[in-house]
Structure 1
Amino acid sequence: MERTAIPGSGNPIRALPLPQRMRDFSRRVPCAVVLAGILSAILPGILAPEWLLPRMLLPVLLTLAVLFPLGARETLFKVLLPALAASVSLLLAEHANRNEPAALFADFRPETGIEAELLVTEPSVCGKAAKLPNPSMVRCRLIRARFSPGSSWREVNGTVMASFPKDTPPFSYGDRLRAEGILSFPSGSPVPGAFNYGEYLARRGIRCLFRTAAMPEFKGHETSPYSLLLSGRDLLLGRLLSGMDSESDRALTAALLFGCLQGIDSEGRNDFIRSGTIHILTVSGLHIGMFAGALFFLLAFLPFRAKLLTVPFLTLLYTLATGLQMPAFRAFLMLFCWCVLRAFLLRGSGINSVFMACSLLLLWNPFQVRDAGFQYSFLCVIFLVATAPVASQWVRMAFERDSWRPAKTVSPALFLKRKFLFWLWLSLAGCLTAWAASFALTLFYQGISVPFALPANLLVLPLAWVSFLIFCTAIVPCLVIPQTAEFFSPLLALPSAGIARVCDFFAKLDDFTLTAPPLWSIFAGIAALGILYVASNRKVFLASLGLLLFLMFFWCSGLFSPNAPEIAVLYGGRQETPAFALSLPEYRFSVIANPGDFLSAQSAVTYLKQRGHSRLSMLILSEPGRDFAAGAKYIFPKMNVDTLLLPEFRRSSVHAVEAVERGRRSGTRIVFLKKNGEETVFNSQKIKTFSKNNEFSFDISHFDFNIHIRMLARIDGITEMEFADGRNRWSRKWVFPRRKEQSATLFPLENAAAREERNRIE
């Protein structure tokens, strides 16, 4: 805290008044004040769009609050005008979202059959040169469409996410396609708090999906400067990957260097999530920093100013080649400001550059503030940049004795050892800061604690830097002399293989699934961490540390976890027969039955993970058909399954065959029911299933908990469902009408102890 002396007073030192400290902060970090003005206009409109009064009053109140300490001029340029610009940007974004051309063409109908002409605008497609498959979802511009071959074409010019058959030849950026398919709106998750794909796309200005089962017809290619840049990237990537024998090494190298994730399956991606290293698959500040660092190393022979002006230009080309994602743009903007200021011997503020990048991105797209990636990126970078001077000072204090030694007495080996230890401890401090800053968000969004993220990143990051050093060295030789790729390709495969093995090792140690904590505790934890780093008073430091440890204990101890038994019933959409997920957190027992499609499987897994289940005790399929088993194969990559219970089936039952094959690969116990209604006993579990004439029943017992579930699918599309305990002491009945969109209904249940307590009270 800054202090000033007052002549002639008994206490010669006192703290600066609050208005003066606010003025000093505004001059040191002006973009932080600008960001506050932008958020005051954006947050009310995004979090509570129906509340018009807070949307209008919050910017006004903030302006009045800072008018006296900052003055009229600074308040106008740093608060009022940014808030006005953010309000206009939010209104324009809302208008564009409501009037998205593809959604207007579909007339907001759930599904529409069309013939479409598409232009591929997905930067991650790599063409035939890289020999990588197409992404599962390809961003395209819907140029024009018609409802039938006999109708006239209508200009659309909207953006859609398109899916094509797996055997479709690889696309290139700028390809024009013609295909017949279904234009639909993405379905959101019916489980409260789960990831909503529809909202995720809407925040990026996309409202519709286009899927086709037929091979699209290639109609030409549109050439632009950006498509030429991406064609050069595809050519370079294809040559670098040509000498790699392992498909996993090829996929990981493409993802690490350019963010092309289409070669990595869901199981591999889950390994990166559980090990806490998923950030290396998304082009962000880490990649921009490693690329620029490798360039600084390779261009060390250039003069000082020429090097500082050349590296940002080359880094801009690399950033564009990766698709110019939000984290990459933020990192490039920070690098550009640092290099230009340093080239002209000027000083700048790193934290001010972070706030400037955040302000520009929010003005460009205000809806990004709700993205988990946006929150992760800026929260970690703000903590890293703000704490870097303190961390560097702490590390230098540990080596203070060595700094007093004369340079002539320090041998080269000792000098290298000191440098290595210094950067090792500084990297450890950075990894610890990033892990602590992202811990609360990881727990809230992913439901995992990733305790081994620190050692995993310490091993992965040096390997990633070696990959970028080899990559930057190979760019010019591989483009000019293609034969040199035979030398660089095996070198690139070595660090990629090492990264994959490190992530696989730490991912298999444990799942560490925890219940998502309340939102208020997330804000409290982030605030406590921030106070911990900036506190200059010992009491404040200890108080913030105690609060942070208290919150982490309650997050990891499971005290926030709901222990009451509950069942989630999923119905509607493609799930013609209701599926359900049974959760008994007290016994760590869970069941999923009859997931009929991907959305049902994903929703059931999300629901169980929200309630703290890291494993699925049992997956039950009443019948091997599509309505009961089509979603089963999607559960195994997302959750370990102990037992798969299903009736015997023929090889023609494709979905049941896929579920059994996935289960065997993941080590799941497969149990076949030889006859309908047979009781199966596993230790303390008793399971009996029955299905006949669209009537299905389940009798599930686990210790003192037992439940009877009966479902009847009527001809009119209405489903009757009944819950009862094993002795019919209580019974509940519900009726579910047929719905076009999938829905979820949660029903609390009672175990034996709860029923006895209720009966005693009654």
Structure 2
Amino acid sequence: MQAQQLPLALDKTDYVLLGVVRDVPHQNSLRSRFVVEIEAIEALGDVSPLAVQPGDLQRVILSWYGGEPVRPGERWQFTVRLRSPRGFANPGGFDYAGWLFHRQVSATGYIRAKGVNKKLAQTGQYSIDQFRWAVLEKIATLQVNSASKALLAALTVGDKQGLDSETWMQMRLTGTVHLAVVSGLHIGMVAGLGMLLGNFLGRCLTALGAGVSRQQVAVVVGGGLALSYALLAGFGLSTQRALIMLSVFLLATLLKRKLRPELALLWALALIAASDPLAALSSGFWLSFGAVATFLLWFVPRPRASYLRDLCSAQCIIFLPLAGLLSYFQGEISLLSPLVNLLAIPWLGIAVVPLALLGMLFLPLSPALASTVWQVAAWQLEAFAAAMTYLSHYADFFMWSLPAGQGALLSLAMVLAGVLLLMPKGLGLRAMAVVLLLAVALSGQFFLDREGAEKGVVPGEGGFTLAVLDVGQGLSVVATHLGRAVVYDTGPKYSASFNAGSGIIAPYLRSQGVSKLDTLMLSHGDADHVGGTQGLLEHFSPGQILAGQPLELPIHGVEPCSNQQDFLANRETEQSWRRAGVVFEIVYPGPVTAPPKPSDGTSKPEKPLSDNDSSCVLLIHYRGQTILLPGDISDEVEAKLLARAVLPAQIDVLVAPHHGSRTSSSPAFVEHLLPGHVVYAAGFNHHFGHPAKVVAERYRRHGAKAWVTGQAGAIIFTWDGDGQLRVRRWREQARRYWH
């Protein structure tokens, strides 16, 4: 597979390719994004014709801005610019490069508007994808809101492109995200419905004298429906795992083998590991098998009770083991989820999913009847979405985050407590589970650290961390200490479904055990610095928001930053950081005043600041170390700061102004600061070309060690309690062989 990926040396090179569209295209008002299976490819420009052969690249994901609509199964000729499979590299972040590798995607790219782009034919290939596309087109015509259409599309054909960030946030807060992702739960529900139907059909066939048992018919019908649903839902990795696991159990039943449940689970585990060795790297793998193992451990040794009692006990006993895994992978859990899922799972499983399947069955026969069935399902999903919206307003009170520095240990304790609670009463182990849960609940509590309480020090590990995150061509810097954080800028927004705030910064904060975001500072209003703000606010509520251009932001409660203003919201928060040895200082801009008015018509008012020169400049002190975050200021503002003598000499860490642009980092500025480390927050191989060569050479001549986020991923500076510095490049630290 490594040989079928576009090499980094050929990143941003042009080609003419011939291929067939597969899967379901993702479309919005700006662009369409789709997968193309390559049949032929030819290099253009300076690329050697022998550099890429038709067999070298197998599958690409392309974006087409302002282009024609495409459908699955169509053969096209495109002129494209391809990029090597690559993603952002941040702690807690999504491994996009691994996702591409897992799906055998050779490159990503976009279609060149000036090239030859034409549809050649409609093929008979990918007929299932063509049917899925027809389902989506029909769902789009339903008379319901967009949220219920998106949920219905996710449940029918596994297409989640219509789910916006607000819907995802509401489902995250209520612990119902798994209901919108076709996985083992849905496959199991469909198989169960199929087995009920097959059992009835088998009884009828037996009565007619057929030589098959009702159990055999039930297995065939249940397995067939589950396979059909998995194929129509896109046959994603989660559905593949669920189908393999289900097939082991059904095959044993069909062959009349009395297979012990735990042995069947191990067989499923072995088959999945053999067919998909990378599956164990995903959280879904452990969550799926953890859930099944928990159910087997609880239900197999016990007699069946009523449906309602089994449903309630299932939600209770599944919560603790999965809560431990979820807290490890996500850094937080929703304590509201057991109650919500107690109602949501049977509702969607009994009243919605069957209608979604029935609509797909009716679509080839009667599109009008399919619309009617889906309309009934969509009305229910409209009510479901409204309920999730209501509950999400209060769900913040039920979210629990792991204390800083204790995530892995506490997650393991919760998993172990869940296992102990599943043990038989006679073993006397359940009391130990209660002790473990009490320890987890009291973890990180201030009063438990007697020495720290006497000194007024927050418990936990010492030190201070500053992370310049890899957000592409943009900036986001996070300072953390013992569960508290401040954020400087939120990076760009890439699409309606992905932005740096929710996709990069929030996962990083959770991975660091951050429970309090004390201040969010937005240097100025440029999109590459504030694009992720709304996404971050969906996950964290800052104690204070400061901005260089507050009027440019559609957010309530934003205050203008000034060197006359306190960086932290209150004295208690400030004292907490000061006890750790951290002091924040705003050095620019000055107090916000109205521009002077000309008195006699001859004088001119002061020239208004540009967006970049409105940047807030933040200075951070930690035990003799100095860090400067200057935003996008130009050399003009640099000269003002030098003239006012507000910048210290020989600082330790500098985030280069304006990503290392030629318009900043003047010789006088660099010579005065003499930074030990300079970080360029710039995208990999971006067309802006940051950092500028002349700027990089200027810092190098003065002894600064250079770091570029686009090349190295997140740059993480960690000082211990004595002020000793350790620097990590996350792309190197978290490297996998597909990176």
TM-score by shorter chain over 0.5 = yes
1:274 and 2:173 matched: yes
Summarize the alignment of residues 523-602 of structure 1 with structure 2, pairs less than 5 Å apart: 523=412, 525-534=414-423, 537-547=426-436, 549-551=438-440, 553-554=442-443, 562=460, 564=462, 566-570=464-468, 574-575=472-473, 579-585=476-482, 588=484, 590-593=486-489, 595=491, 601=501, 602=503
Q: 1:450 aligns with which of 334, 343, 347?
A: 334
> What does the per-residue CA deviation read over 1:578-626, in whole Å, with 9 as the maximum and x for residues that have no partner?
642223557x552323636768655443333333334644332333335
> 1:120-519 counterparts in 2 under 5 A?
123-125=23-25, 138-148=34-44, 152=49, 154-159=53-58, 162-165=61-64, 168=67, 171-177=70-76, 178-189=78-89, 191-206=90-105, 208-212=107-111, 214=113, 217-220=117-120, 223-224=123-124, 227-297=126-196, 301-303=200-202, 304=214, 305-339=216-250, 341-342=252-253, 346-390=257-301, 392-393=302-303, 396=305, 422-465=306-349, 466-508=351-393, 509-510=395-396, 511-515=399-403, 517-519=406-408
C-alpha change, 1:745 and 1:243, in structure 2 (3 Å) is closer
SS in 2 for 1:123: strand
Q: Do the aligned partners of 1:253 and 1:493 also contact (CA within 8 Å) in 2? A: yes
Please state whether the residue corresponding to 1:114 is helix, strand or coil.
strand
Deviation of 1:179 after TM superposition, in Å, equals 3.6
State whether residues 596 and 626 of structure 1, in contact with CA within 8 Å, keep that contact through their aligned partners in structure 2: yes
Q: Check 1:253–1:330 CA distance in 2 against 1; reply closer, same or farther (3 A cut).
A: same
Contact 2:75/2:123 (8 A) holds in 1: no
- What is the match of residue 5 of structure 2? 102
Amino acid at match of 1:364: S
Q: Which residue of 2 aligns with 1:741?
A: 711
* Structure 2 match to 1:15: none
1:359-409 deviations in Å (ceiling 9; x for gaps) = 11111221221111111111111212332224x53x64xxxxxxxxxxxxx
User: Cα RMSD between the aligned structures?
Assistant: 4.6
Q: Is the 8 A contact 1:437 1:526 kept in 2?
A: yes
Work out the CA distance in 2 between the residues paired with 1:568 and 1:470.
51
Indicate the SS of the match to 1:242. coil
Shift of 1:489: 2.9
Measured after TM superposition, the shift of residue 136 of structure 1 is 8.0
Mark the CA change 1:250 to 1:555 in structure 2 (over 3 Å): closer, same or farther.
farther
Asked if structure 2 preserves the Cα contact closer than 8 Å seen for 1:618 and 1:641, the reply is yes
Assess, with a 3 A threshold, how the Cα gap between structure 1 residues 139 and 561 changes in structure 2: closer, same or farther. farther
For residues 331-372 of structure 1, the C-alpha deviation after alignment (integer angstroms, 9 at most, x for no partner) is 334444544554565533333333222211111221221111
Cα distance between partner residues in 1 of 2:538 and 2:270 = 38
1:297-316, CA deviations, whole angstroms, 9 ceiling, x for partnerless residues?
55665222434423322332
* Distance in structure 1 (CA, Å) of the matches to 2:14 and 2:384: 44
Taking the aligned partners of 1:600 and 1:317, their CA distance within structure 2 comes to 37
| Letter of the structure 2 residue corresponding to residue 580 of structure 1 | V
> How far 1:448 sits from its partner (Å)?
0.8
In proportion to residue count, which structure has more helix?
1
Q: Is the 8 A contact 1:561 1:612 kept in 2?
A: no
Q: Alpha-carbon deviation of 1:480?
A: 1.0
Helix, strand or coil: the match of 1:181?
Answer: strand
CA shift, 1:470, in A, is 1.9
Q: Distance in 1 between matches of 2:24 and 2:43?
A: 30
Q: Partners in 2 of 1:482 and 1:696 — Cα distance?
A: 57
The amino acid across from 1:504 in the alignment is T
Report the counterpart of residue 693 of structure 2 in structure 1: none
Report if the CA contact (8 A) 2:489-2:530 is conserved: no
Report the alpha carbon displacement of residue 249 of structure 1 after superposing the two structures with TM: 0.8
Q: Match of 1:583, SS?
A: strand
What TM-score does the superposition give when structure 1 sets the normalisation length?
A: 0.67
Q: Distance in 1 between matches of 2:492 and 2:355?
A: 47
Contact 1:163/1:212 (CA < 8 Å) preserved in 2?
yes
Q: Is the 8 A contact 1:594 1:622 kept in 2?
A: no
* TM-score, structure 2 as length reference: 0.68
Which runs of 5 or more structure 1 residues have no equivalent in the other structure?
Answer: 1-95, 397-421, 650-655, 756-762
Mean Cα displacement is larger for which, 370-379 or 635-644?
635-644
Between 1:527-536 and 1:134-143, the stretch displaced more is: 134-143
**3-state SS of 1:479 partner:** coil
Rounded Cα–Cα distance in structure 2 between residues aligned with 1:605 and 1:173: 35
Is this contact kept in 2: 1:456–1:502, CA < 8 A? no
Give the Å deviation of 1:738.
5.3
1:669 aligned to 557, 574, 577, which one?
557
